[in-house]
Amino acid sequence: MGASVSGGRWWTLSRNNLVSTSVTYHDGIAVLAIGGEIDLASIPAVDRAIAEVLAEEPPALIVDLLGVQFIGSVGISALVTAALEFGDDRCFSVVAQGPMTSRIIQRLDLDDLLSLKGTVEEAIGWAKDAKPPIAAPDPIPREPTG
């Protein structure tokens, strides 16, 4: 069974094209793909893209950094802030590989907080499995009969 993909958007964000983003949805899970460099010059655009996705209140958000060649401390801070804003009742994950992204996240001991994954497919599978169960309503009290 293939995942459905819908609602893709693509932005080129910073003045020097240092960063670009795209948003797609896989069975309701938002995937924000970021490419380029995340630093002081591009962070306002990245923050704006994250805020727009968060405003849509998806049940899960995956930030895909596979296209990122450099991430500075402001980028790491933006990811941590997004993870904390997303809350415990929804799934947040970062996809990254390599020395400029995943290694930094691991060295800072943020891989658990950011739910670091190696591929988008792995993150989508994790988000589907980690969705909090829908709570059953409390039973309606009934008056005793008889």
Looking up tokens 């964000």 gives: 13
Q: Which domain holds residue 23?
A: 12-114
- Residue by residue, pLDDT tens for the chain (146 residues) are 334 444 554 444 444 568 999 999 998 999 999 999 999 999 999 999 999 999 999 999 999 999 999 999 999 999 999 999 887 778 999 999 988 999 999 999 999 999 999 999 999 999 998 855 444 445 555 666 65
Q: Give the pair of three-digit tokens for residue 141.
A: 């009290």
Sheet strand arrangement including 19-26: 5-12, 19-26, 29-38, 60-71, 91-95, 116-117
Here the CATH number for the domain that contains residue 80 is 3.30.750.24
What distance lies between CA 56 and its chain's CA centroid? 12
33 domain-assigned: yes
133 domain-assigned: no
Rounded to two decimals, the pTM is 0.79
CB atoms closer than 10 angstroms to residue 51: 12
